Structure 1
């Protein structure tokens, strides 16, 4: 299970870094919830929390459109039976690198909840 969850995390980074929205969303449950400080800033009405694949699609599609050079450099992956803790560096051309940690909660091979923390 731990190796399976780590494989999901690696697929997550591959999809994210190639800005492949369909591959990224495939990893999520239909009712998945996502929390991000960036979401709270850009869409204050959400209070940082969105739910469901359609909201995830809108959020990441906007990010990929606005930030064509957005890239996550993995620094650490730690997994157990139901979650993966990911540490990475958020890189965008002409912006300062940002340290990020993210937790993916996984059930039956799909991400059900993700939480982002900024360093």
Structure 2
């Protein structure tokens, strides 16, 4: 897949996330996609930071949207090749300090198959 198309997937990801359109967000993922996040380790320690499948992703993000109604991501940079996109963005939540985040989305056949979040 062309890097430009991978970047378009990333931009649709940000749009769906920021509008909290969960079905639109999940439509970008393969049914068996995996997602790793340090926040998962904190809020769902039984996962050890990793969830598998769109059902688990739905549960995780719905919980996040419910807990953090002002959650918003601002894109800083996108760097893509034909397999993945590296995203840098700022996480803002009213009443919390902004957090700088990096995330990698791995894409196969036009769908996200793995995502990994990095932050301090």
Q: TM-score, normalised by structure 2?
A: 0.98
Deviation at 1:24, TM superposition (A): 0.2
CA shift for structure 1 position 90:
0.4
Q: Quote the RMSD (CA, aligned, Å).
A: 0.4
Structure 2 unmatched runs, 5+: none
Q: Give the Cα separation in 2 of the matches to 1:49 and 1:116.
A: 10
**Aligned-residue offset at 1:107:** 0.2
Q: How many residues align?
A: 119
> Which consecutive segments of 4 or more residues in structure 1 shift more than 4 A?
none
Q: Distance in 1 between matches of 2:100 and 2:40?
A: 16
Displacement of 1:23 in angstroms is: 0.4
Q: Which residue of 1 aligns with 2:105?
A: 104
Aligned partner of 1:13 in structure 2 is 14
Unaligned runs of 5+ in 1: none
Give the Cα–Cα distance (whole angstroms) in 1 for the partners of residues 45 and 63 of structure 2. 15
Aligned equivalents of 2:92 and 2:39: distance in 1? 14
Q: Deviations over 1:15-47 (max 9, x none)?
A: 000000000000000000000000011111100
TM superposition score normalised by structure 1: 0.99
Shift of 1:100: 0.2
Q: Which whole-Å CA distance do the structure 1 matches of 2:66 and 2:47 have between them?
A: 20
